[in-house]
Amino acid sequence: MPRSACQDHGMGANETNPSRSDSPPTLVSSYEQDGFVFPIAVLSPEEAAEQCQALEAAEEMVSAPDVRRLLFGFANIVLPSVDELMRQPSITEPVSEVLGDDLLVLGASFFVKEPISPAFVSWHQDLTYWGLSDDAEVTAWIALTPATVETGCMRFLPKSHRDDVVPHRDTFSDDNMLSRGQEVDFEIREEEAVDVILAPGEMSLHHGHLFHASNPNRSNERRIGLALRFVSPSMCQTGGQRTYAHLVAGEDRYGNFELMPRPSGVLASDDLARAKASLAMQTTVRL
């Protein structure tokens, strides 16, 4: 479906803040130049630890692999702690500097690397398979435990966001944390990559076209991060479906996504059903 098929009866992604007169120059200029910015302090170490505890308490409730998949992949739907976190001004305000005042969250995923684990993330671009009409998307990655070179922090390739989506190949590697093991279909110059070292409670922001990856966790501690996928409400799915999203700041003047209610409890049955429906829809649109 062409871009014009989106409902477009409001202001555009950046028109909510056209001059960006209040934007911190270091944040916006760095993001526009390199495709990312970090570190941004968003939680205290104690608050980061509380998020870890909430996740681990939920894990204790889970035995079935399919429910565990929903917990890790659709955390904003099934965990009230994540729903509250993604609405915090310390997180939404930096994102709004890039996308404008109106924000939707398409999804929230935990990326957990167990101690001395071979799990890795291959070089890829987030928007490769999402089927969105534009690139008004920002991924906020929040470290809940130390993200270091040893624990397998993310790595960014500066300025790679200036390219459109490039060809990827699906490897379906067992150790690759991405759903298809997708990776860019050419050689990356690793010496140009930047290690995204974050303390617990710090956040990075990166563009949906930015090349990024991460290596295995070689430490004896669990590495836990939470990725929040923010988009402008002006975006839509090019396939014509209205996939699910949460409104977390401002308002939605477009109606291009099906807005979801907030979680009713930890792994509540109605929320798990919504997460399953969201998984099925994302599979259809290759999100």
Q: What are 195-221's pLDDT values in tens digits? A: 999 999 999 999 988 988 998 999 999
Distance of CA 195 to the CA centre of its chain: 18
More confident residue, 187 or 284: 187
Average pLDDT over residues 96-122: 93
Residue 228 banded pLDDT, cuts 50, 70, 90: very high
| Mean pLDDT score, 103-131 | 88
* Distance separating alpha carbons of residues 146 and 134, to the nearest angstrom: 33
Shortest CA distance to 243 belongs to which of 283, 213, 191, 212? 283
> Does pLDDT of 283 surpass 60?
no
Alpha-carbon distances, residue 129 vs 65, 217, 223, 285 (angstroms): 24, 26, 26, 8
In this model, does residue 7 exceed pLDDT 90?
no
Domain regions of the chain by residue span: 33-285
Q: What pLDDT is stored for residue 168 in this prediction? A: 67
The order of strands in the sheet holding 212-214 is 121-124, 212-214, 154-156, 194-195
The reported pLDDT for the residue numbered 17 is 43
Q: Quickly name the fold that domain 33-285 has.
A: Jelly Rolls (2.60.120)
Sequence letter at residue 280 = A
- Cβ atoms within 10 Å, residue 200: 21
Q: What is the mean pLDDT of residues 58-62?
A: 95
Q: To the nearest whole percent, how much of the chain has pLDDT over 70?
A: 83
pLDDT at residue 10 in the model? 42
More confident site: 150 or 117: 150
Looking at 18-22, 97-101, 246-250, which range is the least confident one?
Answer: 18-22
Task: Tell me how far apart the alpha carbons of residues 259 and 266 are, in angstroms, rounded to a whole number.
Answer: 20
Model confidence band, residue 31 (pLDDT cutoffs 50, 70, 90): very high
**Cα atoms found within 13 Å of the Cα of residue 215, Cβ hemisphere only:** 14
